[in-house]
């Protein structure tokens, strides 16, 4: 699934339409704890989150997350959008909640890229 | 040098891996580039009641081969040079545009990828496509020439910026001869500067990629240094320093500050243990997982701290033979 197809599934609004939506997504993860994303997510995932600050974009950049979906219609700050645009990371606002989004995407064939925490 | 080999290869019509990469880059660009980036803005338009001879003049003076027809700001048709030829054959240049314009409008969206326009050109026999915004208002016009120009510009821009930087940086260790070459990056970090938190880490990750590090290695370093940078911002009293030493065989990253220091270093290393404020937790950090994460990313981590004195976190990654940065053979072998 690429980001463009994901946007349709989550009925999302792309907040930085200047960014390419062509990236292929290998799977997904849902988290509000950025350390969890950094610790457990494999590259080329979409991140579903309720967190809207600039650190979400930095985390995505470090963890090679290819797109970010904000749940329940949340919109990030202008600085967050500006940074994501600069870094080429699409930001998508979806009206659905985290649970609904995970379900929809999983059903559409997108699987988890979260790894269990092990030492 | 290798450049010469490439040239000869090209003359000999051998498609090298490099050529293949450039071909696919053009394809990639047609997805990456938005129509709004390559279209012609400030479009000449005409109205439906304008006489055809006035249009003839507009096309001639502006050296264009077609114009969109607007009525009260709405796109109602397209008039091309072919329509004008038909009109001249019938000697009806005094007729209004509405008599000759094509009402079958195929438009593209400004936010669509260029590939969408390419697809439309290949299925529709059109020389130009009007470009509309989300509200359906005309914002530009696109021709195949615009696409070619746009892709070529983007290729050149790309090549000249990132590729060239990467090319230069990736040869750094090869171009300099010494017994032991290392590159040191330093960043000053301000306390509680959450808005810029991660900026240094982002620069470090990019530097590693430009130096030729594989994406997995750059990611590993990026994650470790980002957690360390956030720790510094969250806890430091007066600010601190990130220092990254890159050598062909290893990467050494350090964060240092002069306070407040950690009471119980052993406790700080316990997963889930944190002294972070609610403000920090609201940002998605401060769950006591940072040091644990760092440990998973590096070969060696050392946390030294004394209350009232400061903290130093050292992270070392030893590069595997295939990950090492290329250096000149003249360089001294490192222990």
Say if A68 is an interface residue toward chain B (CB within 8 Å).
no
Q: Give contacts of A79 with chain B, Cβ < 8 Å.
A: 195
CA distances from B237 to B211, B234, B247, B259, B310 (A): 33, 9, 31, 5, 9
- Quick one: pLDDT band at residue A17, thresholds 50, 70, 90? confident
Compute chain A's Rg from CA coordinates. 13
Q: Please check whether residue B197 lies inside any domain of the structure.
A: yes
Torsion angles phi and psi, residue B143, rounded to 5: -120, 170
For residues B318 and B187, membership in a common domain is answered with: yes
B34 and B113 in contact (C-beta within 8 Å)?
A: yes
Torsion angles phi and psi, residue B141, rounded to 5: -140, 145
B232 and B285 in contact (C-beta within 8 Å)?
A: no
For residues B297 and B179, membership in a common domain is answered with: yes
Tell whether the model's pLDDT for residue A34 goes beyond 90: yes
For residues B253 and B182, membership in a common domain is answered with: yes
Q: Which of B62, B105, B50, B59 is nearest to B82 (CA)?
A: B59
pLDDT digits (tens, 9 = 90+) for B46-81: 999 999 999 999 999 998 889 999 999 899 999 999
Query: What mean pLDDT do residues B148-156 have?
Result: 85
pLDDT digits (tens, 9 = 90+) for B209-248: 999 999 999 999 999 999 999 999 999 999 999 999 999 9
pLDDT of residue B22: 55
Q: Please check whether residue B330 lies inside any domain of the structure.
A: no
B71 and B48 in contact (C-beta within 8 Å)?
A: yes
Q: Give contacts of A38 with chain B, Cβ < 8 Å.
A: 223, 226-227, 293
B250 and B318 in contact (C-beta within 8 Å)?
A: yes
For residues B115 and B210, membership in a common domain is answered with: no
For residues B262 and B194, membership in a common domain is answered with: yes
The rounded Cα B81 to chain-centroid distance in angstroms is 39
pLDDT digits (tens, 9 = 90+) for B293-317: 999 999 999 999 999 999 999 999 9
Domain boundaries of chain A, sorted by first residue: 3-107
Of the residues A58, A76, A117, the best mutation for testing chain B's interface (the one with the most B CB atoms within 10 Å of its CB) is A58
DSSP per-residue string spanning B154-176 = HHHHHIIIIIHHHHHHHTHHHH-
Query: What mean pLDDT do residues B164-175 have?
Result: 83
Fold classification of A3-107 (topology level): 3.40.1390
pLDDT of residue B136: 87
For residues B178 and B319, membership in a common domain is answered with: yes
CA distances from B39 to A15, A88, B42, B115, B161 (A): 22, 21, 10, 13, 23
- ∠ CA B185-B186-B187, nearest 5°, is 130
Q: Give contacts of B32 with chain A, Cβ < 8 Å.
A: 20, 22
3-state secondary structure of B254: strand
Say if B139 is an interface residue toward chain A (CB within 8 Å).
no
Nearest CA in chain A to B27: A22
What strand order describes the sheet that includes A13-14?
A13-14, A91-93, A67-70, A45-49, A27-30
For residues B81 and B188, membership in a common domain is answered with: no
For residues B184 and B306, membership in a common domain is answered with: yes
- Quick one: pLDDT band at residue B334, thresholds 50, 70, 90? very low
Test B34 with A51 for CB contact under 8 angstroms: no
3-state secondary structure of B82: helix
Test B227 with A38 for CB contact under 8 angstroms: yes
For residues B314 and B178, membership in a common domain is answered with: yes
pLDDT of residue B166: 81
User: Terminus-to-terminus CA distance in chain B, angstroms?
Assistant: 31
Mean pLDDT, all residues of chain A:
93
Test B32 with A53 for CB contact under 8 angstroms: no
CATH number of the domain enclosing B240 = 3.30.565.10
For residues B138 and B197, membership in a common domain is answered with: no
Q: Give contacts of A43 with chain B, Cβ < 8 Å.
A: 215-216, 219
pLDDT digits (tens, 9 = 90+) for A84-117: 999 999 999 999 999 999 999 999 999 999 988 7
Say if B31 is an interface residue toward chain A (CB within 8 Å).
yes
For residues B215 and B272, membership in a common domain is answered with: yes
Q: What's the number of domains chain B is made of?
A: 3
Burial A101-112 (b: 16+ CB within 10 A, else e): bbebbeeeebeb
* Signed CA dihedral, A79, A82, A88, A91: sign only: positive
Domain of residue B3 covers 1-32
Q: What is d(CA A96, CA A6) in angstroms, rounded to the nearest whole number?
A: 13
Q: What is d(CA A105, CA A101) in angstroms, rounded to the nearest whole number?
A: 6
Torsion angles phi and psi, residue B302, rounded to 5: -135, 130
pLDDT digits (tens, 9 = 90+) for B194-217: 999 999 999 999 999 999 999 999
CB atoms within 10 A of CB A15: 18
For residues B135 and B214, membership in a common domain is answered with: no
pLDDT of residue B20: 54
Query: Look-up: residue for tokens 């650190």?
Result: A55
Range in A54-58, B106-110, B167-171 the model is least confident about = B167-171
pLDDT of residue B9: 35
Test A39 with B292 for CB contact under 8 angstroms: yes
């Amino acid at each position: 699934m690429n980001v463009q197809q994901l946007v349709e599934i989550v009925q999302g609004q792309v907040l930085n339409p200047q960014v390419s939506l062509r990236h292929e997504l290998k799977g997904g993860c849902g988290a509000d704890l950025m350390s969890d994303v950094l610790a457990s997510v494999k590259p080329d995932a979409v991140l579903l989150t309720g967190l809207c600050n600039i650190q979400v974009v930095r985390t995505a950049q470090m963890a090679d997350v290819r797109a970010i979906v904000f749940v329940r219609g949340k919109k990030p700050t202008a600085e967050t959008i500006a940074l994501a645009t600069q870094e080429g990371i699409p930001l998508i606002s979806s009206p659905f909640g985290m649970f609904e989004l995970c379900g929809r995407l999983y059903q559409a064939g997108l699987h988890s890229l979260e790894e269990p925490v092990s030492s | 040098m290798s450049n010469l080999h490439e040239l000869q290869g090209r003359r000999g019509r051998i498609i090298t891996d490099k050529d293949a990469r450039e071909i696919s880059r053009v394809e990639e660009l047609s997805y990456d580039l938005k129509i709004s980036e390559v279209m012609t803005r400030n479009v000449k338009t005409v109205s439906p009641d304008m006489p055809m001879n006035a249009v003839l003049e507009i096309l001639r003076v502006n050296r264009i081969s077609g114009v969109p027809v607007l009525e009260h700001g709405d796109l109602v048709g397209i008039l091309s040079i072919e329509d004008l030829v038909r009109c001249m054959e019938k000697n009806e240049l005094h007729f209004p545009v509405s008599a000759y314009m094509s009402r079958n409008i195929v438009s593209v969206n400004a936010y669509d990828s260029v590939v969408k326009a390419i697809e439309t050109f290949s299925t529709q026999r059109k020389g130009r496509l009007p470009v509309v915004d989300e509200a359906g208002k005309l914002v530009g016009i696109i021709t195949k020439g615009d696409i070619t120009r746009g892709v070529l510009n983007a290729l050149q821009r790309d090549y000249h910026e990132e590729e060239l930087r990467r090319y230069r940086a990736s040869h750094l260790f090869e171009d300099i001869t010494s017994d032991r070459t290392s590159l040191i990056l330093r960043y000053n970090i301000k306390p509680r500067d959450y808005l810029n938190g991660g900026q240094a880490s982002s620069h470090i990750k990019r530097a590693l990629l430009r130096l030729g590090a594989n994406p997995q290695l750059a990611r590993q370093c990026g994650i470790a240094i980002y957690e360390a940078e956030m720790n510094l911002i969250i806890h430091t009293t007066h600010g601190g320093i990130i220092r990254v030493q890159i050598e062909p065989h290893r990467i050494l990253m350090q964060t240092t500050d002069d306070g407040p220091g950690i009471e119980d270093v052993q406790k700080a290393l316990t997963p889930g243990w944190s002294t972070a404020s609610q403000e920090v937790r609201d940002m998605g950090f401060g769950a006591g997982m940072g040091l644990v994460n760092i440990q998973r990313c590096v070969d060696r981590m050392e946390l030294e701290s004394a209350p009232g004195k400061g903290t130093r976190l050292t992270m070392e990654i030893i590069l595997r033979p295939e990950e090492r940065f290329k250096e000149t053979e003249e360089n001294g072998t490192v222990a």
